[in-house]
Structure 1
Amino acid sequence: MVQTATKYFLIVVIGTTINVTAYVGLLDLQSSIHISHNLGTTSLSITYGCGLLLSLFVTPLLLCNLGAKWTLILGEFGFSVLTLANFYPGYATIIPGSIVGSMGESFVWAAGQLYIANLFLNRPVDNEHADANSNGEIPDLWFGRFFGILKTCVIWANLISYGVLYGFKSSSISNFTNGNYSNCASNFCYATTKHGSGSYIPHNRNSLYILLGVYLGLQLFSVGLHVFYLEPAERSAARIPNGTAVAPTSILNIISSSVKSTAYHLTSTDQILMTPIIFYYGFMISYSFSDFTRAFVSCTLGVEEVGLVMAVYGVFNAIMGFGAGKASHMCGLPIVYIVTCLFDIGNYVAQLLFRPEVATRYWVFAFAAMLGTSDGIWQTVISITEIGYFRDRLELAFAGVAFWQVLAMTVGFIMSGRVCLRIRIILLISTVVLGCFGYGITETKRRNSRKYLSEENERILAN
């Protein structure tokens, strides 16, 4: 049977979606189910803090030498260990589990994107896709499809969470926190939230163990799928500053080449200008999965409703994952950047002005839909932008994206429960404005450069 790029595209995206489904479901609940002593956000801080170091020193090393397939599998295994640690929550289990789980955040996203990029850059494809790839370009639509499918994990994860936790909930228990909303939403401050535990901990602890068992089973299935059915994709030629391919023969040379290559890429002008928008995306994700779920959902509706609200987030996330690729293809990336930036600012202003009451609680679902929309757009367009700017060093480009996203999420989770939410939202507004400004400078500079080269070529031909 002829093996096609489409087949391996489906294997990698379905397996990754299944694994990340379990991870995202657990991520959404961490800040609520482990609210005591801020254990949940401490766990997330460790996961992303260690992931930051791995993204800087290990991810490019593995991508360039181990390949996208096995780097992806290693990261998925890390997510499984983190889920297992949550069966017996405590500092002795959660912290080691978070350290191992950091492999997932560092490896999965970069390896998945690199696999898709290499798949369609290097592999002969079906006649159906030949025209789109004949000039060596990756169609925007393929990354839109990749992220569109992958982002449905938020839907499945939270529907599973809602079904299990809400199904075990006693009908005599109200969904709402005794009408006390004074410390919820943008007024949330961990230090002043005294009525904490009742709204955040599932009333039936067995339901939590069942949920964790389902998540662990999904993760182990995805690891097996990729081990046995995913073929390694050809690698692009990652290069160090002197232009030679990375092919060291010793461990020290491997590490040295990896660090030099990563440092060279991260300090390039275009990557520096793109860094603020990448940082904003990670900062927004940490907000959505910790502060938003705790302050806007658990605090007002109860932890059992987190799954339902975040399923709404996932629906819009997945739709816009598909839509962003098409929008960038039809309208151009600059228009998508401008519109999404203004959309996000409007969302955050509305959250600052929101006053939680029983009559207005449905606004929580609207805020989740808007955050999901932003998530779906930003990840897709950032990946498309990186491919357009750094076609000759994709391993380093995606490792760099992973590094800044993980750094931003680490900062966000450290701030969660330690900085009042109003300040956090203001920082989000500032960061998205700075990020779009940086992209604008990069795009203007590159367009001027292309225009200059075009004029020079015309002048040479005229002579």
Structure 2
Amino acid sequence: MNPTFELEPYENAMVTNDNVITSNEFVKDKNKRGSGFRTYKNLFVISIAFLLQFTAFNGIQNLQSSLNTEANVGVNSSSIIYVCLILSSIFLPHPLMSIFGLKWTLVMSQIPYVLFVAANYYPKAYLMYPTAALVGLAAAPLWTSKGSYLTDSGSKYALKYNFDKNTILNRFFGIFFAFFQSCQIWGNMISYLVLKPEVQLLSTFSNQTKDNTHLLHKTYDKCGADFIEHEYESSEVVKKIDRRTIDILCMIYVCIGICSIIIMITFLDQRRTTSREKMSVMVRNSLKLLVSSIKHMRHLNQILLIPITIWAGLELTFIFAQFTQAFISCTISAKYIGLIMIAFGICDS
């Protein structure tokens, strides 16, 4: 049975042996149709909310190593995010989902992302580092509750309509990631459109004096694979982007993040996968989950996934921190990061 179409179970439920529809059967069928609509409504609400939130977050994250170079605040902030993510993965998801349910865990976990983007208005260590830590602590509950929400709603939908569970879950997660993975496209497009250089950029370069041309070549020698960060920052040809332009970009990203939260608060239904628990029970269950996760490392399939995970982390670190700074910002301008990273977003999605 094709899970894309809900008409077939609807028609079957409307027919009795005497080809007569009773009032009870009509009400039951109407409830089933309503349940199917709400399930897909919640799926698209989560998908759109994540798309908006990570359009803003990934857009500003791609610029960290190029814009916030003072005391290496940008790269350090990104590092803090993922250190705190490790800690939050161990302890926070289960207690928060038990106390607040899946909807409000999702909503609360989105707020630090908006705060981190807003901190880029004034990117000092005492603002960037705490908000980065909050993002890391919120990330694990955010992604865990998202996975639990889609899995629970997909499983119940498959059971109600007698569909294959794996087929429905694959479809639900496929729809979600089709939205989510495109965030790199839209976030970088916004970045480029706001920061894009003036049209006369090429003519400006063509009119450079011989001394400036020599300086440019000397600087380019320190870009790419030969990138030297402190020489890049002190170079005379490095042009800082106007602060007002960066503030406009941050304002746009903050508004997008707030829209994501509003959409989730307004349209997402509450859902719980577990009942409320006492604090002692939550701590005990969290420890059990930690122990079971460690024991799971005995399985060969899990062990074989570890190198892939490590490689993915190293790859993304290189792309978001080193590639954007050494190969784009150093050679042409940070204004072009969005344009070039759109290509990454297209292939990534």
- Structure-2 change in CA distance of 1:182 and 1:134 (3 Å): same
Instruction: Please state if 1:250 is matched with 2:284.
Output: no
User: What RMSD in Å do the two structures reach over aligned CA positions?
Assistant: 2.8
Q: How far apart, in 1, do the equivalents of 2:120 and 2:329 lie?
A: 19
Secondary structure at the counterpart of residue 269 of structure 2: coil
Instruction: Please state if 1:158 is matched with 2:188.
Output: yes
Contact 1:80 1:101 in 2 (8 A): no
How much does 1:313 deviate?
Answer: 1.0
Secondary structure at the counterpart of residue 139 of structure 2: helix
Q: How far apart, in 2, do the equivalents of 1:197 and 1:258 lie?
A: 54
How much does 1:260 deviate?
Answer: 2.4
- Structure-2 change in CA distance of 1:77 and 1:169 (3 Å): farther
Instruction: Please state if 1:44 is matched with 2:78.
Output: yes
Contact 2:77 2:132 in 1 (8 A): yes
- Structure-2 change in CA distance of 1:289 and 1:231 (3 Å): same
How much does 1:223 deviate?
Answer: 0.4
Q: How far apart, in 1, do the equivalents of 2:135 and 2:330 lie?
A: 27
Q: Which amino acid aligns with 2:225?
A: S
Q: How far apart, in 1, do the equivalents of 2:205 and 2:158 lie?
A: 58
Aligned to 1:304: 335
Q: How far apart, in 2, do the equivalents of 1:200 and 1:58 lie?
A: 43
Q: How does 1:260-271 map to 2 (within 5 A)?
A: 260-268=288-296, 269-270=298-299, 271=302
Instruction: Please state if 1:182 is matched with 2:216.
Output: no
Q: Percent identity?
A: 25
TM-score normalized with structure 1 length: 0.59
- Between stretches 146-155 and 62-71, larger displacement belongs to 62-71
Counterpart pick for 1:284 among 303, 307, 315: 315
Secondary structure at the counterpart of residue 87 of structure 1: coil
TM-score normalized with structure 2 length: 0.77
Q: How far apart, in 1, do the equivalents of 2:233 and 2:130 lie?
A: 29
- Structure-2 change in CA distance of 1:151 and 1:249 (3 Å): closer
How much does 1:292 deviate?
Answer: 1.4
How much does 1:107 deviate?
Answer: 3.0
Q: Which amino acid aligns with 1:111?
A: S
Q: How far apart, in 2, do the equivalents of 1:74 and 1:173 lie?
A: 48
Aligned to 1:226: 264
Q: How does 1:7-46 map to 2 (within 5 A)?
A: 7-46=41-80
Aligned to 2:29: none
Aligned to 1:419: none
Secondary structure at the counterpart of residue 196 of structure 2: helix
How much does 1:188 deviate?
Answer: 2.3
Q: What's the CA shift string for 1:151-190, capped at 9, x where partnerless?
A: 1111110111000111678747659992332222222243
- Structure-2 change in CA distance of 1:125 and 1:257 (3 Å): closer
Secondary structure at the counterpart of residue 149 of structure 2: helix
- Structure-2 change in CA distance of 1:24 and 1:168 (3 Å): farther
Q: What's the CA shift string for 1:9-54, capped at 9, x where partnerless?
A: 1111001100110000110001110112211111111222222211
Q: How many residues align?
A: 303
Contact 1:148 1:317 in 2 (8 A): no
How much does 1:88 deviate?
Answer: 1.2
Secondary structure at the counterpart of residue 254 of structure 1: helix
Q: How far apart, in 2, do the equivalents of 1:52 and 1:263 lie?
A: 15
Q: Which amino acid aligns with 2:113?
A: F
Q: What's the CA shift string for 1:363-410, capped at 9, x where partnerless?
A: xxxxxxxxxxxxxxxxxxxxxxxxxxxxxxxxxxxxxxxxxxxxxxxx
For structure 2, the residue ranges without an aligned partner over 5 or more in a row are: 1-32, 207-212
Counterpart pick for 2:175 among 133, 145, 165: 145
- Structure-2 change in CA distance of 1:79 and 1:99 (3 Å): same
Aligned to 1:116: 150
Q: How far apart, in 1, do the equivalents of 2:258 and 2:115 lie?
A: 10
Instruction: Please state if 1:201 is matched with 2:240.
Output: yes
- Structure-2 change in CA distance of 1:191 and 1:139 (3 Å): same
Q: How far apart, in 1, do the equivalents of 2:129 and 2:81 lie?
A: 8
Q: How far apart, in 2, do the equivalents of 1:61 and 1:279 lie?
A: 28
Q: How far apart, in 2, do the equivalents of 1:44 and 1:135 lie?
A: 37
Q: Which amino acid aligns with 1:56?
A: I
For structure 1, the residue ranges without an aligned partner over 5 or more in a row are: 238-246, 319-463
- Structure-2 change in CA distance of 1:160 and 1:249 (3 Å): closer
How much does 1:7 deviate?
Answer: 1.6
Contact 1:67 1:232 in 2 (8 A): yes
Q: How far apart, in 1, do the equivalents of 2:133 and 2:254 lie?
A: 17
Q: How far apart, in 2, do the equivalents of 1:285 and 1:114 lie?
A: 25
Q: How far apart, in 2, do the equivalents of 1:291 and 1:281 lie?
A: 15
Q: Which amino acid aligns with 1:96?
A: P
- Structure-2 change in CA distance of 1:4 and 1:301 (3 Å): same
Aligned to 2:133: 99
Q: How far apart, in 1, do the equivalents of 2:246 and 2:110 lie?
A: 22
Q: How far apart, in 1, do the equivalents of 2:236 and 2:314 lie?
A: 26
Contact 1:168 1:207 in 2 (8 A): no
Q: Which amino acid aligns with 2:305?
A: M
Secondary structure at the counterpart of residue 4 of structure 1: helix
Q: How far apart, in 2, do the equivalents of 1:105 and 1:168 lie?
A: 37
Q: Which amino acid aligns with 1:282?
A: G
Q: How far apart, in 2, do the equivalents of 1:174 and 1:215 lie?
A: 31
Secondary structure at the counterpart of residue 183 of structure 1: coil
Counterpart pick for 1:87 among 118, 121, 125: 121
